[in-house]
Amino acid sequence: MKTIVIMGRGGTGKTSFVSLIADYFIRTQQTPLLLVDLDPDQSLGEMIGIDLRTEGKKTIAELLEETFIEKGGTTIGIPPSKRIEHKIWEEGMYEGEKLDFIAIGTKWVEGCYCMPDAALRDALSRLIKQYRYVIIDAPGGLEHLNRRVAVKVDDIIDVLGPSAKSFAHLERAKRVAEESGVIYSRFLSVGGFLFPESLTERAKNIPDVKYLGKIAYDQAVAEKTISGDPVFGLDPTNPGPVSVMNILTVAGYMINEQKS
């Protein structure tokens, strides 16, 4: 079992990267997978073709609001994650044939994401052992990493955009992970589809961060993103899937394509 956190500033193509990784793992039978959407914008579900509401499921934020606000729950004396853990499994998790999916969701009431993050952290600690890969789509902000939603992970991959701010974000994320006590094996980076080749050497020279390569621009991915259709099932010879396969090869996740 491996846990992979994908992060980066908004607009770098981070969520489509997560989706293409999942599609590759499914195509090569590296399952079961658990996909976790930590972004309140909830775009990952759209990218993989899963609507929790249509499936009769709720986000973690919705479950918490229902438990502690609508039903008058309390956090006094009992950790909130203990009280709603069974709800996350039963009411918040989409279970598919090859992947499961949960989302932090949008918080509609006042306050930070501390409680949803704590609930998810506790649930994940009991869930992850049954999956081959757990892939976490983290938002551009660093607060979820700071709250150690995933305490121990294998790889943190930062998707770089075409600006100096992306490099600053990577450096901050690495420092937050280290100072918050997140245990990880590798800190890696990839260039997003807008990442210019002229910045490749700079990416390769970041201390203790291995650069895996660049996600290729793919018109088919762009069209599906605009239309709101899932990116699963694209022709594996398309630029996007090929570049992601190459990135995963460099990262050591490649297996024999004959299994696909």
Residue 9: CB atoms within 10 Å: 21
In order along its 260 residues, the chain shows pLDDT tens digits of: 888 999 888 788 899 999 999 999 999 999 999 999 987 777 899 899 999 999 999 988 888 777 765 555 554 455 555 566 777 888 888 999 999 999 988 765 555 556 666 666 666 666 677 889 999 998 766 555 545 566 678 999 999 998 888 899 899 888 888 887 788 899 999 999 999 999 999 999 999 999 999 999 999 999 998 888 999 889 999 999 999 999 999 999 876 544 43
The pTM assigned to this predicted structure is: 0.85
Q: CATH classification of 2-259 is 3.40.50.10470, yes or no? A: no
Residue 46: CB atoms within 10 Å: 19
One-letter amino acid of 42: Q
pLDDT of residue 258: 41
Contact 203, 49 (CB under 8 A): no
Tokens found for residue 143: 């607060």
